[in-house]
Structure 1
Amino acid sequence: MEKKLKVEFKNVYKSFEMHAKQKEKLMELFSIKRRKQRKEFVAVKDVSFKVYEGESVGIIGLNGSGKSTISNMLARVIQPTSGEITINGETSLIAISAGLNNNLTGIENIQLKCMMHGLKDEEIERLTPDIIEFAEIGDYIKQPVKNYSSGMRSRLGFSISVHTDPDVLVIDEALSVGDSTYAQRSLEKMNEFRKRGKTIFFISHSAAQVKQFCDTAIWIHYGEMKMMGDSGDVQKEYQQFINWFNKLSQEEKVAYKNKMLASQTSTPDNELVPQRENIKKRNIRNLVTSGVMLSIVAVLGVLLGLGY
């Protein structure tokens, strides 16, 4: 039986505008044309892959490599700058405190998140005891989330997500803050998910943990997909890079990082992101915004002239 395609990235780019000062960000809002000196940081560059139902895919890479940007696009928190993302089903992002309201209690967050997933009152009432038990945070469940440790936030978020039964589970470093016992329980729960045909993306600094749990791994290196394949093979290549990097002097490490970061910086003279419809839409939005603001300024000028 042929597996169904769950997720596809096709030539995906994600860039973020770089503003040195808040004033520049405000100026951009009123700019009809792209500013000549504006820079963009290309966090994800031309990434393509396909993932099918029941597969578990690990995403590894250095800090700042683009792993979390990819996880946020998978969870539909942010949209790509260009390229196409296809996701067949509902996704749920598990990251430290992701989607949790700091001012609400643990129980209130459970109710809110379950409602957002479309669960009915009776379903929420039935699931709540299981979510609380799996989260293992004791009486803190009645306390505001702002009083939680990072481990408690992660456990609550993980417990809510796995009990709301999403089609695609995106886990972004959420297990790195818990103890080894809870991490093992979480991995077992994720294996149950996978056996039921669910698709899992596991973003982690730990290549060994990715190898243990995931069939396939993706190595993201300063925004680019360096390698995708069997998790053991990818881990081996990644570990060789880490060993090489760790042998560098501090000055050499800094020089290497600066060189790689410079390759992710886009300017009008050095366009790293292909021309896309998003730019047209943004320019139209800026044009509309500018027109509205000019109208407001004109009205204010008239009122002031009349002595109001």
Structure 2
Amino acid sequence: MIESMVSVTHVSKQYSMITSPAKQLRSLFHPTKKRPTFMALRDVSFDVKRGETVGLIGLNGSGKSTLSNILAGIIQPSHGKVQTGGEVSLLAIGAGLKPTLSGMENIRLKCLMLGYSNAQIAEMIPAITEFADLHDFIDQPIKRYSSGMKARLGFAIAVQINPDILIIDEALSVGDTTFYKKCTDKIEQFQEEGKTIFFVSHALSQVRTMCDRIIWLHYGEVRLDGPAEEVGLEYSKFVHRFNKLSKEEKAEYQQNLKKRQSNTDQLDETDIHKKENKGFRKSSVIYLSILWSFTIFSGILMESTAFFTKLQEIIASIFHFGG
């Protein structure tokens, strides 16, 4: 039996659409009141076996990048569970790179954050810089890099840390054909080594060529999951029909689906752990109340040295009395 490397169980990701901090705070004190939300993913479930290469496709706003970030552990799902059987590396344009640091400093920082020692990093740097092929730009700040250069550096770091699960999110959509060939050769090497790969792209031909299986996300939900050729063909038919719609028809279609993602009434009707939600809101209110009280108290202490000194004396006398 082939081991399951990634298991995603009833995963949903909900974002609050309240932008003002003051409104966020007020909403926590009214847990029964409906709050505007956006459901980026809804009840997504699938298992991926060791050695599989899985494509994630879908129109813009379908949740591909959200799912990638959840798989990589960068963000947590609102509901559901994700289990992975090894080290995960996410490759997206500029992901995890600090704009003010140089390419070399970013290499060191990212590797340190992944738990590598300075000695190990020193051994890895030649291979990373050679693969990225950035020459003198390796010592320039990332903010001066083009999107293609960022992708090259990100890919070089991601593949050299030798992850068990590699997630490639649109990172091969930029750059020249020479670097693209270098990347696809490395992906093929990983496939031969039995690594698990997620490939996110709008380029359906690339996905069908590289992947064994495709998961089609459609506005936060899994619309189809199966062999690459079959799902790729169905998605191609859908895109063909969609592109035949007028501009107004496309806008209406997308607006209706996005409205469903933002419909909190519809969300309440699904099995999304209402009790957990109530408990979370209640604990949030308690936490924020304590935090708010502490902030006020700290402000008073900072404003009044005499008060702070007096408080110390009172505490000392209490302990002295108790002793």
Q: TM-score, normalised by structure 1?
A: 0.91
Aligned-partner Cα distance in 2 for 1:191–1:303: 60
Which protein is richer in helix relative to its size? 2
For the pair 1:275 / 2:266, whether they are aligned, the reply is: no
1:75-108 Cα deviation digits (max 9, x unpaired): 0001111111111111111001101111111111
Aligned ranges for residues 88-99 of structure 1 at < 5 Å? 88-99=85-96
Cα offset for 1:281? 3.2
Of 132-141 and 271-280, more deviation after overlay is shown by: 271-280
Instruction: Give the aligned residue type for 2:141.
Output: P
Instruction: Give the aligned residue type for 1:163.
Output: Q
Partner of 1:234: 231
Aligned counterpart for 1:125 among listed residues 114, 119, 122: 122
For the pair 1:188 / 2:153, whether they are aligned, the reply is: no
RMSD value over aligned CA atoms? Answer: 2.4
Give the percent of matched residue pairs that are identical in Structure 1 and Structure 2: 43
Instruction: Give the aligned residue type for 2:59.
Output: L
Partner of 2:312: none
Aligned counterpart for 1:59 among listed residues 56, 59, 62: 56
For the pair 1:147 / 2:144, whether they are aligned, the reply is: yes
1:124-160 Cα deviation digits (max 9, x unpaired): 1122111111112221001011111111111101100
The verdict on how the C-alpha distance between 1:20 and 1:116 changes in structure 2, with shifts beyond 3 A counting, is closer
Instruction: Give the aligned residue type for 1:88.
Output: G
Kindly tell me the number of residue pairs found equivalent between the two proteins.
Answer: 304
1:44-80 Cα deviation digits (max 9, x unpaired): 0111100011110000001111000000000000111
The verdict on how the C-alpha distance between 1:240 and 1:291 changes in structure 2, with shifts beyond 3 A counting, is same
Is 1:32–1:290's contact at 8 Å kept on the other side of the alignment?
no
Partner of 1:86: 83
Cα offset for 1:120? 2.5
Partner of 1:46: 43
SS of equivalent residue, structure 1 residue 59: strand
SS of equivalent residue, structure 1 residue 97: coil
Partner of 1:289: 288
Cα offset for 1:123? 2.2
Cα offset for 1:289? 1.4
Is 1:16–1:43's contact at 8 Å kept on the other side of the alignment?
yes
The verdict on how the C-alpha distance between 1:283 and 1:205 changes in structure 2, with shifts beyond 3 A counting, is farther
Is 2:31–2:281's contact at 8 Å kept on the other side of the alignment?
no
For the pair 1:258 / 2:255, whether they are aligned, the reply is: yes
The verdict on how the C-alpha distance between 1:68 and 1:269 changes in structure 2, with shifts beyond 3 A counting, is closer
The verdict on how the C-alpha distance between 1:52 and 1:299 changes in structure 2, with shifts beyond 3 A counting, is closer
Cα offset for 1:268? 5.2
The verdict on how the C-alpha distance between 1:279 and 1:171 changes in structure 2, with shifts beyond 3 A counting, is farther
1:274-306 Cα deviation digits (max 9, x unpaired): 1253652353133121133145547878999xx
Instruction: Give the aligned residue type for 1:87.
Output: T
Instruction: Give the aligned residue type for 2:87.
Output: E
Is 2:53–2:197's contact at 8 Å kept on the other side of the alignment?
yes
Is 2:93–2:154's contact at 8 Å kept on the other side of the alignment?
yes
Instruction: Give the aligned residue type for 1:85.
Output: V
Cα offset for 1:194? 1.6
Moved over 6 A (4+): 298-304
Of 217-226 and 177-186, more deviation after overlay is shown by: 177-186
The verdict on how the C-alpha distance between 1:107 and 1:264 changes in structure 2, with shifts beyond 3 A counting, is same
SS of equivalent residue, structure 1 residue 263: helix
SS of equivalent residue, structure 2 residue 9: strand
Partner of 2:197: 200
Structure 1, unaligned stretches of length 5 or more? none
Is 1:47–1:225's contact at 8 Å kept on the other side of the alignment?
yes
- Which one has a bigger Cα radius of gyration? 2
Q: TM-score, normalised by structure 2?
A: 0.87
Aligned counterpart for 1:222 among listed residues 192, 206, 219: 219
Aligned-partner Cα distance in 1 for 2:61–2:135: 34
Aligned-partner Cα distance in 2 for 1:278–1:128: 46
Aligned counterpart for 1:109 among listed residues 90, 106, 111: 106
